[in-house]
Amino acid sequence: MTLADVADAVGVSPSTVSRVLTSSRPVAPEIATRVREAATRLGYSGNGIARALRRRRTDTVGMVVPSILNPFFTSLVDGLERTLHDEGKQLLLCDSRQDPDVEAEHLRALVERHVDGVVVSPCDDVASIPAVARTAAAVPLVQLDRRVEVDGTDWVGLDDHRALGMLLEHLRDRGARVVAFVTSEMTNSSTVDRARGFRENAALLGLQVAPDGIVLGEFSVASGEAAVRTLFARPQRPDAIVCADDLIAIGALRACHDLGLRVPEEVQVTGIDDIEFATYVSPTLTTLAQPTARMAAEALRLLGLRAAISDGSAHAIEATRLAFSPRLVERESTRSLP
Partner DNA sequence: ATGAAAGCGCTAACAT
Partner DNA sequence: ATGTTAGCGCTTTCAT
Quote the CA–CA distance of 270 and 281 in Å, as a whole number: 12
Cis peptide before 140 (omega within 30 of 0): no
Find the shortest distance in angstroms from Cβ 30 to DNA.
7
Find the shortest distance in angstroms from Cβ 10 to a copy of itself.
20
Quote the CA–CA distance of 267 and 171 in Å, as a whole number: 10
Find the shortest distance in angstroms from Cβ 97 to a copy of itself.
8
Q: Confirm or reject binding of residue 4 to DNA (CB under 7 A).
A: yes
By CB under 7 A, name the one of 8, 36, 42, 51 that touches DNA: 51
Three-class SS state of 281:
coil
Q: Confirm or reject binding of residue 25 to DNA (CB under 7 A).
A: yes
Q: Which pairing describes strands 117-120 and 154-158: parallel, antiparallel, or unpaired?
A: unpaired
Find the shortest distance in angstroms from Cβ 84 to DNA.
19
Give Dmax (Cα) for the chain.
88
Return the number of the residue (39 or 322) whose C-beta is nearest a copy of itself. Answer: 39
Find the shortest distance in angstroms from Cβ 165 to a copy of itself.
29
Q: Confirm or reject binding of residue 71 to a copy of itself (CB under 8 A).
A: yes
Q: Is 324 in contact with 156 (CB distance < 8 Å)?
A: yes
Question: Please, which of residues 190-209 interact with a copy of itself by CB under 8 A?
Answer: none
Three-class SS state of 298:
helix
Q: Confirm or reject binding of residue 85 to a copy of itself (CB under 8 A).
A: yes
Return the number of the residue (150 or 214) whose C-beta is nearest a copy of itself. Answer: 150
Binding site for DNA (CB under 7 A): 2-4, 11-16, 18-19, 21-22, 24-28, 31-32, 46-47, 50-51, 53-56
